[in-house]
Amino acid sequence: PSRSMVHSVASDAEEAAGAGRQGEDRVADQLAKALDDRWVLYRGYKNARGEIDGVLAGPDGVVAIEIKAYAGIISADGDHWHRQKVDNYGNPRERGPVADGTGRSPSVQLNEIANALEAFLRRQRAIVAVRRVVVFAHPRSRLEALNALTVDAVGTSAKTVLAVLRQQTVTLSPDDQARIERLIERDHAYFDRRRGKR
């Protein structure tokens, strides 16, 4: 008897989501290998301004991380980001903006959420700067012409996050660090519940 076979082909959105998860996993693995157990990475952190891929908290402070898995040549001028796609031979193809589903560039998305987190921590009397890093984690991402950046750093691996940590001049006490981690967890849990009810 013949068998019927069902073939499914991933949509562009599904492929992009899969690439995004792989990029996030790659960066998380790199951070896990480089940092000790005093550090906590909150993946998929949410607050009133939206969601970012990670918030890293530890003895040297807090870093908000947005991870993109776009192949091609990435450029930025302030909060305006673009990607030049290239084919398998490295030839340039179409050029377009780099933005999330609501049209925010990576820096706008990251800064809105990091600013809200920083303000929340300040209201709770946990005064700590939230550093901001955008990572383009696709193996074929290349950075060019990054001008007037509004985030602390942009890179293609977790090494960029580690470089930002090395620049930190403040060391948190274990008690301050634990309190900040509890506040981040509380803030995320609150907005995660609210988004789930919508």
Considering the chain, what percentage of its residues have pLDDT values greater than 70? 88
Helix axes 159-167, 12-34, angle to 10 degrees: 50
Q: Does 2 have pLDDT greater than 60?
A: no
Sheet with 92-97: list strands edge to edge.
92-97, 80-86, 72-77, 141-147
* CB 132, CB 114: distance < 8 Å: yes
3-state secondary structure of 6: coil
pTM for this structure?
0.86
- Which own/partner pairs from 47-52 qualify as long-range (CB within 8 Å, at least 24 positions apart)? 47/113, 47/116, 47/117, 47/120, 47/187, 47/188, 47/191, 48/116, 48/191, 49/112, 49/113, 49/115, 49/116, 50/102, 50/109, 50/112, 50/113, 51/113, 52/109, 52/110, 52/113, 52/114
The fraction of the chain above a pLDDT of 90, given in percent, is 76
pLDDT value at residue 194: 81
Element (H, E) at 153: strand 153-155
- Chain segment 15-69, per-residue pLDDT in tens: 455 656 888 999 999 999 999 999 999 999 999 999 999 999 999 999 999 999 9
Question: What pLDDT digit, counting tens, does each position of 109-151 carry?
Answer: 999 999 999 999 999 999 899 999 999 999 999 999 999 999 9
Confidence of residue 176 (pLDDT cuts 50, 70, 90): very high
**SS3 readout for 46-107:** EECCEECCEEEEECCEEEEEEEECCCEEEEEECCEEEEEEECCCCCEEEEEECCCCCCCCHH
Pick the more confident residue, 196 or 101: 101
Q: Is the pLDDT of residue 7 over 80?
A: no
Query: Residue 123: its pLDDT value, please?
Result: 96
